[in-house]
């Protein structure tokens, strides 16, 4: 059988130790063991099936998500899973749900922005899921411009409360995941008003629904914002709308790590920078970068396996057609994506370290690396999500017509993934933040302040001072070019971190060699993509450009025999991939054929509606033909 033989034969060609590569991909032996065990646990549990997801109505889809979330929580308790294992379980259930926001944003916000006392009060409730929370920042009228939020939190010294209010339609909270139908509580971002004075945006813990009957509390209007892009996909999430009509909360429900409001109504700033109010976004952007490598590698795994099974044209002497993976055009589209998946994995690992480091420094009142952490998380979130969204769509095209079928897994993956370019900060808005950080760094060069961390290279580039003068003329006017500069800066980080990874001790036969090839492919592919910029700025000569392209072709040939093993190293179960084209056994055609018959349209041979709509047309034609 074509698929079985093809993938088995591909695996036998691998020139490196796949098991060791699995460890590198996972990050450690321990992480591999956990993710392997938990992914199989999810795959073998019938409640976590997801093969009918794209065919369900919104209501059925949502109820099924609730069922899965409840089952996941039950299993987490029954099996006494650790925090790490529980997070893996939610990841492999692979269905966006209110839990993501509860664990991924609500809890981290209380941890990052609450005082010790507030943490002691709220975290145990949240950890035991006695309350379910979401992150309500974005409004109908403002998402990117956080300082433009309109919701107000006015201190009432008479009652020692804040009055939370939505003064306009545009101040309605709009988008928060988990808000629409599930959350009992939210961290609500609103303007702090004391004695008619506006002190800017702060976070407040607000109870939204009764813990007895789940009805909204007095003064609260709440609902789901409606269907989103694609079938299945992100529609499992209840992104919500929320309005407040003078809702009162106790004073101690303002998150007070950054600034405190006293009983007398005085605002007291602590020694931490006010930007910590934005801290959850830094945390989630860092997570999104790690997540990008998962989404991209998943699409690449499907496209690579299918490209080895699929044959078109070029009859060989044995009468068999050519595997499409052997076409150089296929390789030149697929292998840079394979290399990108590995590159994003390693930069994600580094970013996790950077985030931990900045947190440790914050505990010790060292705030010096916060601007860099903000720039790196914002820029890399933007770069990796844009490349991943484009990469998933490219993988769909690499699978030809079958890639367009929901059973390929690619349409749903694309639909679920693309909002990552928008949530946690629109990608262009985030790149402008990076550009601002770069300009600030350049402006300090003249004053003798040495650039550090990811900007250390700037101290070596003379022309940057002239750049600074040009930018002085108008940041907004040059913003399109500055965004490109920000992308280039982030690409440099990705390549540097891949190179640093190669400098570590990498055990396993041939593993390092494969990673070197992938690193070179990534770097040369980026150079190839921006060849015009490299040539026009004199960074490389035309001769070097053509040498780079020749080298890229040679690297593709080097990777070709290892391609299947390189995607096997992701260690994905068929359940997680949920793709007929990406099956581990390569048994694509019989399964595609089988899947088609499962479509509800095939439940009856003659479709519903035949008598009302098809038969009359046919009869009409018959009459016309007789005339
Ligand atoms: C739930 C997920 C859990 C786990 C994740 C796992 C995997 C991921 C997968 C799926 C994710 C699932 C769900 C996603 C749910 C989505 C949630 C959301 O979208 S929440 C809403 C997010 N909103 C945004 O991101 C808004 C974007 N806007 C902003 O961040 C800022 O307002 C902006 C930076 C654009 C502000 O610009 P500006 O007005 O110019 O600046 P401002 O005056 O406010 O500040 C200036 C000053 O502050 C510095 N700064 C800005 N941001 C930060 C920051 N975050 N940290 C530190 N510092 C910051 C800025 O550089 C400037 O400094 P200087 O004055 O120049 O020194
Ligand atoms: C699936 C999904 C889940 C979400 N979950 C949550 C959640 O849980 N909680 C929450 O609070 N929010 C959530 N959001 C909201 C999300 O964070 C915002 O949509 C996002 O920050 C973008 O803001 P915006 O919608 O205001 O876009 P806008 O800022 O209106 O962007 C529109 C366009 O304007 C451009 N633009 C805007 N400002 C500038 C500028 N200064 N310079 C140049 N161009 C600019 C952008 O590039 C974009 O092209 C979610 C959104 C989605 C799609």
In this structure, what CATH number is given to the domain that contains residue 191? 2.40.110.10
**From ligand 2's centre to the CA of 142, what distance in Å?**
8
Give a yes or no: residue 377 inside a domain.
no
Residues 6+ apart with CB under 8 A from 207: 131, 184, 185, 217, 249
Query: What's the Rg (C-alpha) of the chain?
Result: 27
Which structural domain, as residue segments, surrounds residue 214? Answer: 111-270
pLDDT at 173: 98
Q: How far apart are CA 215 and CA 220, in angstroms?
A: 10
Evaluate whether residue 129 is within a structural domain.
yes
Residue 46 lies in a domain: no
Query: 605, exposed or middle or buried, with CB in 10 Å at 0-12, 13-18, 19+?
Result: exposed
Ligand 1 centroid from CA 92, angstroms: 27
Tell whether 389 is covered by a domain. no
Mutate to test the pocket of ligand 1, among 135, 200, 384, 433 (most ligand atoms within 8 A of CB): 433
Separation of alpha carbons 317 and 319, rounded Å: 5
Averaged pLDDT of the chain: 95
- Spell out which residues line ligand 1, taking CB within 6 angstroms: 100-101, 104-105, 135, 137-138, 143-144, 146-147, 177, 275, 278, 281-282, 284, 287-288, 291, 370-371, 374, 423-425, 429, 433, 436
Burial 170-182 (b: 16+ CB within 10 A, else e): ebbbbbbbbbbbb
Helix (H) or strand (E) holding 253: none
Residue 230 counted as domain residue: yes
How many structural domains does the chain have?
A: 1
Candidates 146, 236, 277: which one to mutate for ligand 1, based on the most atoms within 8 Å of Cβ? 146
- Closest Cα to residue 183, out of 221, 244, 134, 130? 134
Q: How confident is the model at residue 620 (pLDDT cuts 50, 70, 90)?
A: confident
pLDDT(1) > 60: no
Nearest CA to ligand 1 atom 21: 424
Cα–Cα distance, 507 to 93 (Å, whole number): 32
Residues in contact with ligand 2 (CB, 6 Å cut-off): 101, 135-138, 143-144, 175-177, 234, 239, 419, 422-426, 428-429, 432
Q: Is 228 among the domain residues?
A: yes
Q: Which residues are identified as catalytic?
A: 424
- Which pair of structure tokens corresponds to residue 178? 């988990």
- Interacting residues of 409 by C-beta distance below 8 A, sequence separation 6+: 298, 302, 577, 578, 579, 580, 581, 582
Q: What confidence tens digit (pLDDT) does each residue in 241-275 have?
A: 999 999 999 999 999 999 999 999 999 999 899 99
Average the pLDDT over each of 370-379, 381-390, 435-444, 488-497 and give the range with the smallest value: 435-444
Interatomic CA distance for residues 176 and 188, integer angstroms:
10
What pLDDT is stored for residue 450 in this prediction? 83
pLDDT digits (tens, 9 = 90+) for 150-163: 999 999 999 999 99
| Domain annotation covers residue 461 | no
Q: Which two tokens stand for residue 375?
A: 């720039």
264 domain residue, yes or no: yes
């Amino acid at each position: 059988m074509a698929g079985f033989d093809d993938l088995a034969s591909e695996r036998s060609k691998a020139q490196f130790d796949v098991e060791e590569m699995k460890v590198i991909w996972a990050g450690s032996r321990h992480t591999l063991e956990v993710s392997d065990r938990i992914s199989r646990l999810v795959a073998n549990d019938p409640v976590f099936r997801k093969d009918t997801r794209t065919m369900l109505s919104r209501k059925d889809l949502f109820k099924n998500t609730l069922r899965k979330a409840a089952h996941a929580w039950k299993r987490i308790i029954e099996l006494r899973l650790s925090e790490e294992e529980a997070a893996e379980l939610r990841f492999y259930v692979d269905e966006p749900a209110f839990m993501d926001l509860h664990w991924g944003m609500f809890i981290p916000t209380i941890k990052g922005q609450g005082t010790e006392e507030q943490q002691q009060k709220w975290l145990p409730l949240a950890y035991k899921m006695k309350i379910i929370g979401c992150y309500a920042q974005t409004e109908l009228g403002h998402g990117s411009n956080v300082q433009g939020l309109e919701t107000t939190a006015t201190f009432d010294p008479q009652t020692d409360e804040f009055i939370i209010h939505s003064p306009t339609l545009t101040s309605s909270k709009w988008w928060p995941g988990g808000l629409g139908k599930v959350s009992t509580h939210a961290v609500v971002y609103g303007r702090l008003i004391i004695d008619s004075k506006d002190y800017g945006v702060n976070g407040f813990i607000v109870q939204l629904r009764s813990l007895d009957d789940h009805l909204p509390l007095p003064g609260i209007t709440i609902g789901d914002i409606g269907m989103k892009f694609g079938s299945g996909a992100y529609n499992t999430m209840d992104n919500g709308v929320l309005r407040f009509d003078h809702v009162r909360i106790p004073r101690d429900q303002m998150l007070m790590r950054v600034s405190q409001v006293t009983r007398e109504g005085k605002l007291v700033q602590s020694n931490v920078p006010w930007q910590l109010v934005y801290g959850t976004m830094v945390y989630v952007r860092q997570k999104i970068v790690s997540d990008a490598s998962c989404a991209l590698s998943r699409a690449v795994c499907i496209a690579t396996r299918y490209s080895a099974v699929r044959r078109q044209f070029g009859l060989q002497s044995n009468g068999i057609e050519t595997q499409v993976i052997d076409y150089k055009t296929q390789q030149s589209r697929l292998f840079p994506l394979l290399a990108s998946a590995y590159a994003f994995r390693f930069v994600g690992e580094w970013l996790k370290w950077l985030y931990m480091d900045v947190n440790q420094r914050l505990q010790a009142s060292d705030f010096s690396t916060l601007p860099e952490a903000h720039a790196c998380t914002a820029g890399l979130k933007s770069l990796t999500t844009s490349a991943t969204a484009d990469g998933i769509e490219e993988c769909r095209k690499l699978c030809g017509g079958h890639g367009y079928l929901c059973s390929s897994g690619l349409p749903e993956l694309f639909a679920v993934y693309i909002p990552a370019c928008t949530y946690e900060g629109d990608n262009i808005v985030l790149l402008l933040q990076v550009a601002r950080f770069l300009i600030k760094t350049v402006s300090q060069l003249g004053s003798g302040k040495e650039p550090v961390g990811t900007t250390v290279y700037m101290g070596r580039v003379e022309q940057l001072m002239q750049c600074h003068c040009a930018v002085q003329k108008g940041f907004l006017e040059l913003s399109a070019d500055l965004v490109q500069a920000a992308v280039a800066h982030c690409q440099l980080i990705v390549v540097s971190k891949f190179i640093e990874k190669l400098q570590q001790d990498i055990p396993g036969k041939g593993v390092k060699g494969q990673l070197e090839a992938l690193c070179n492919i990534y770097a040369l592919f980026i150079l190839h993509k921006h060849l015009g910029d490299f040539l026009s700025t004199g960074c490389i000569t035309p001769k070097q450009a053509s040498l780079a392209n020749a080298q890229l072709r040679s690297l593709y040939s080097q990777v070709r025999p290892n391609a299947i093993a390189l995607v096997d190293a992701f260690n994905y179960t068929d359940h997680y991939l949920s793709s007929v084209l990406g099956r581990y056994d390569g048994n694509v055609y019989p399964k595609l054929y089988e899947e088609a018959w499962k479509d509800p349209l095939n439940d009856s041979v003659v479709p519903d509606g035949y008598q009302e709509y098809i038969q009359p047309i046919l009869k009409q034609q018959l009459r016309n033909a007789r005339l």
